[in-house]
């Protein structure tokens, strides 16, 4: 089997949030996790398991309380704010609720990261058209988000996330607000982003069918710890406790 090169490595990573009552909520506990370059890596867990926190640590929207996080071999926990801007350029992110600018059309939503990075007008025009093509929205360049379906909105968000040629795409419940058929088409798009552009895709979801459909690897997060991890094919062939709950329990809608 081909050797997998790590792109993201958490070592003994902990994240503690203060609670409203003045206590501490340890959301991630001494977590060790390695994500390979070029993989589609799924992180699955129940609501409140710490999935969004984990993904927000990767682009340093949250900082670790203790432990280390290496991205591309660099210890980002020691980086200063100026370096983080550079880090975030290499990491795109999409969300369940799309987070589009409602007063800007599709073209301008996708152009946004390019404009704030001071690219020329011509470069931006070309790059946005290329991205519109990638996500299949050429005819909608002038449309406003309000006029788009959920699937189209997520395509805009994906194009925007890819604008600066990221190495990593973080997806936080990206298909959870979509109907099954639309969800599948978005997952197919993410598959081609991975295979055609070589982007490492990290999928956070509470939906096992998403993991099964698209991921190479899966880690199960429960109580702030990884309780099960491996190749999706192996895990589904021999599921342990929490995965069994997922497979036989509620939710987990079909994709």
Ligand X SMILES: Nc1ncnc2c1ncn2[C@@H]1O[C@H](COP(=O)(O)OP(=O)(O)O)[C@@H](O)[C@H]1O
Instruction: Name the residues that contact ligand X, by CB under 6 A.
Output: 17, 25, 27, 45, 47-53
Q: Which does 49 bind (CB under 5 to 8 A by kind): ligand X, Mg ion, none?
A: ligand X
Of the two residues 95 and 213, which places its CB atom closer to ligand X in the complex?
Answer: 95
Of the two residues 56 and 88, which places its CB atom closer to ligand X in the complex?
Answer: 56
Closest-CA residue to 201 (of 52, 93, 109): 93
In this structure, what token pair is assigned to residue 244? 């069994």
Q: Which does 198 bind (CB under 5 to 8 A by kind): Mg ion, ligand X, none?
A: none
Distance of alpha carbon 151 from alpha carbon 183, whole angstroms: 7
Q: Which does 166 bind (CB under 5 to 8 A by kind): ligand X, Mg ion, none?
A: none
Work out how close the CB of 50 gets to ligand X at its nearest, in angstroms, rounded to a whole number. Answer: 4
Per-position x/- string for 192-231, each x denoting binding to Mg ion as judged by CB under 5 A, each - no binding: ----------------------------------------
Of the two residues 45 and 67, which places its CB atom closer to Mg ion in the complex?
Answer: 45
**40-44 and 217-222 strand pairing:** parallel
In this structure, what token pair is assigned to residue 161? 């996330």
What values do phi and psi take at 6, rounded to 5? -70, 140
Of the two residues 52 and 209, which places its CB atom closer to Mg ion in the complex?
Answer: 52
SS3 for 203?
strand
CA quadruple 117, 121, 127, 133: dihedral positive or negative?
positive
Of the two residues 155 and 206, which places its CB atom closer to ligand X in the complex?
Answer: 206
Work out how close the CB of 183 gets to ligand X at its nearest, in angstroms, rounded to a whole number. Answer: 18
Distance of alpha carbon 149 from alpha carbon 161, whole angstroms: 18
Among all chains, which residue has been given the structure tokens 């982003």?
193
Tell me which stretch binds Mg ion (CB under 5 A): 29-37, 44-52, 102-110, 183-191.
44-52
In this structure, what token pair is assigned to residue 162? 């890819």
DSSP state of 78: G
How remote is the C-alpha of 59 from its chain's centroid? 10
Work out how close the CB of 43 gets to ligand X at its nearest, in angstroms, rounded to a whole number. Answer: 9
- Give the footprint of Mg ion on residues 46-65 (CB under 5 A): 52
Work out how close the CB of 59 gets to ligand X at its nearest, in angstroms, rounded to a whole number. Answer: 14
Q: Which does 50 bind (CB under 5 to 8 A by kind): Mg ion, ligand X, none?
A: ligand X
Cβ proximity of 8 and 71 under 8 Å: yes
Site residues, Mg ion (CB under 5 A): 52
């Amino acid at each position: 089997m081909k050797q997998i090169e790590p792109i993201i490595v958490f070592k003994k990573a902990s994240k503690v949030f203060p609670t409203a009552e003045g206590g501490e909520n340890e959301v991630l506990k001494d977590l060790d996790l390695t994500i390979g370059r070029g993989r589609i890596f799924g992180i699955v867990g129940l609501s409140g398991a710490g999935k969004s926190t984990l993904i927000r640590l990767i682009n340093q929207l949250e900082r670790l309380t203790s432990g280390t996080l290496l991205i591309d071999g660099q210890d980002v926990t020691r980086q200063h704010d100026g370096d983080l801007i550079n880090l975030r350029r290499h990491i795109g992110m999409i969300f369940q609720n799309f987070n589009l600018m409602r007063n800007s059309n599709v073209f301008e939503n996708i152009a946004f990261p390019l404009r704030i990075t001071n690219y020329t007008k011509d470069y931006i025009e070309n790059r946005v058209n290329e991205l519109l093509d990638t996500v299949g929205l050429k005819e909608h360049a002038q449309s406003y988000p309000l006029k788009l379906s959920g699937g189209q909105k997520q395509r805009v968000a994906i194009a925007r996330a890819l604008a600066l040629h990221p190495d990593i795409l973080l997806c936080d419940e990206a298909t959870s607000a979509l109907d099954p058929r639309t969800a599948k088409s978005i997952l197919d798009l993410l598959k081609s982003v991975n295979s055609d552009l070589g982007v490492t895709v990290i999928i956070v979801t509470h939906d096992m069918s998403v993991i099964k459909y698209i991921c190479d690897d899966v880690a199960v997060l429960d109580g702030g710890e990884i309780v099960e991890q491996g190749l999706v094919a192996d895990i589904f062939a021999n599921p342990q406790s929490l995965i069994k709950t997922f497979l036989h329990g509620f939710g987990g809608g079909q994709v």
